[in-house]
Amino acid sequence: MVFSVAIALLPFTIGILLGWLCFKRISNNKAKIGLIAIISILTLFFGSAWVIALSSSSKQPSEATRTVPSPIITSSPSSTATVMVTPKQELHKVIKVIDGDTINVDLNGKTETIRMIGIDSPESVDPRKPVQCFAIEASNKAKEVLTGKNVSLEADPTQGERDKYNRLLRFVFLEDGTNFNKFMISEGYAHEYTYQSNPYTYQTEFKQAESSARENKKGLWADNACVTPTSTPTIKIVLTTAPVPTKTTQVVQPTQSSTSTSGSGGGGSYTCDCSKSCTAIFSCEEAYYQLNTCGCSARDGDSDGVPCESLCR
């Protein structure tokens, strides 16, 4: 402190000494007064400038003596990353797991449906779609991890508050800080999903998680995850169609001359009579006579060449 004051008064001290020397050496009084006045003015001017310069330098230390304050580190890099992915938010009870990317939670006494941001698990409950490959496994894993548990929720302002189905859009974190959205992708239970090419907070991490799951063939990326069994069950085909009977056509030529015009019905000659029905004809020979000789086509109703089939079969 004393040294600083002495430095500050140095110009004034020099001015006083110069004035005293001039007073002793110059005999002319007018010259003395004039010179002392000039020295006084210069002393005040340079002294004031000197004091101001010293004051500024005391507030702004030199580069050699300046110390740069170290940044305040409150946690290690790993713990910092954990803080980033583990929002200190209120915990909410999981009421129901709907599928691999959708759950119901108790949000301040109200049941809300949460659609997880950044992932898309195979569909298992959408009535518009069939159950997709690995959907049951993804749903079961979500139920295993989340059922009855407490979770914290993190919104993403880039994704909006709700989707078109009025579901809250959130990242879901377990109590130990695990990002459940990322966990499902990492283990192969879901795809990374970017809605309308709109980047979200953890997009880079999620894409890397999917690449890792693909490379390690986890979950739905496994070689046999979605392969339909190739073995075909043996099917016995029973033919119920009855066999078609083979028709045997018996051609019996009448033994009587075609010129015969009369005779008895038992073995003599036959008389053409197309009005006779098959029940009135006594033998197959007579039936053929009526058909072939007399041209009584009515005797062959199915046109197979066999008359009165009740007689000629």
Residue 228 belongs to a domain? no
Task: Say if pTM beats, i.e. exceeds, 0.85.
Answer: no
- Specify whether the CB–CB gap between 117 and 194 falls below 8 A: no
Q: What positions carry a catalytic annotation?
A: 115, 123, 167
Q: Same structural domain for residues 36 and 119?
A: no
Question: 71 or 302: which carries more pLDDT confidence?
Answer: 302
**Do residues 192 and 209 make contact, with C-beta atoms less than 8 angstroms apart?**
yes
Does residue 214 sit in the same domain as residue 148? Answer: yes
Angle between helices 10-25 and 29-59 (to 10 degrees): 170
pLDDT at position 309, please? 74
Q: Does residue 67 lie in a domain region?
A: no
Categorize the per-residue pLDDT at 12 as very low, low, confident or very high, splitting at 50, 70 and 90. Answer: low
- pLDDT score for 270: 78
Here the tokens at position 152 are: 């914290």
Burial letters 16-31, b for 16+ CB under 10 A, else e: eebbeebeeeeeeeee
Q: CA 298 from chain center: how many Å? A: 79
Domain for residue 280, yes or no? yes
Burial class (CB in 10 A: 0-12, 13-18, 19+), 8: middle
Could you read off the pLDDT of 82-138 as tens digits, one per residue?
Answer: 334 444 579 999 999 999 999 999 999 999 999 999 999 998 776 666 777 899 999
pLDDT tens digit sequence for 139-194: 999 999 999 999 999 999 999 999 999 999 999 999 999 999 999 999 999 999 99
Q: Between 85 and 277, where is the model more confident?
A: 277
If asked whether residues 263 and 311 sit together in one domain, one would say yes
Query: Per-residue confidence at 77, pLDDT binned at 50, 70, 90?
Result: very low
DSSP state string for the chain: -HHHHHHHTHHHHHHHHHHHHHHHH---HHHHHHHHHHHHHHHHHHHHHHHHHHHHHHHS--TTT--PPPPP--S-HHHHHHHHHS----EEEEEEEEETTEEEEEETTEEEEEEETTEEPPPSS-TTSPPPTTHHHHHHHHHHHHTT-EEEEE--TTS-SB-TT-PEEEEEEETTS-BHHHHHHHTTSSEE--GGG---TTHHHHHHHHHHHHHTT-GGGSTTTTPPP------PPPP-PPPPPPP-------SS-TT-----TTTS-----TT--GGG---HHHHHIIIIIT--GGG-TT-SS-SSHHHH-
pLDDT band at 275 (very low <50, low <70, confident <90, very high): confident
Residues 100 and 189 grouped into a single domain: yes
185-238 pLDDT, tens digit per residue, is 999 999 999 999 999 999 999 999 999 999 999 999 998 877 654 444 445 454
pLDDT interval class at 268 (50, 70, 90): low
Closest CA to 137 of 145, 127, 126, 128: 145
Q: Specify the range with the lowest mean pLDDT, choosing from 47-51, 182-186, 218-222, 290-294.
A: 47-51
Domain membership flag for residue 114: yes
What is the number of domains present in the chain?
3
**Given 23, 43, 59, which residue is the final one in a domain?**
59
pLDDT band at 29 (very low <50, low <70, confident <90, very high): low
| Residues 6 or more apart in contact with residue 177 via CB below 8 angstroms | 82, 85, 86
Indicate whether 179 and 301 sit together in one domain.
no
What span, in angstroms and rounded, lies between the C-alpha atoms of 113 and 93? 12
**Among 221, 237, 268, where does a domain finish?**
221
Give the model's pLDDT for residue 258: 39
Neighbours of 118 (CB within 10 A): 29
Most confident of 62-71, 90-99, 270-279: 90-99
CA atoms within 13 A on the CB side of 72: 1
Segments forming the whole domain that contains residue 47: 2-59
Per the domain annotation, does 227 fall within a domain?
A: no
* Cα separations in angstroms, 260 against 62, 266, 297: 155, 14, 19
Phi, psi for residue 298 in degrees, rounded to 5: -65, -20
Region 304-309: what's the mean pLDDT?
Answer: 78
Q: What are the phi and psi torsion angles at 20 (to 5°)?
A: -65, -40
Tell me the percentage of the chain whose pLDDT exceeds 70: 64
Is-contact 100 190, C-beta < 8 A?
Answer: yes
Question: Do residues 26 and 136 share a domain?
Answer: no
User: 195 and 286 share a domain?
Assistant: no
Residue 11: its pLDDT value, please? 66
Name the pairing type of β-strands 168-174 and 110-116: parallel
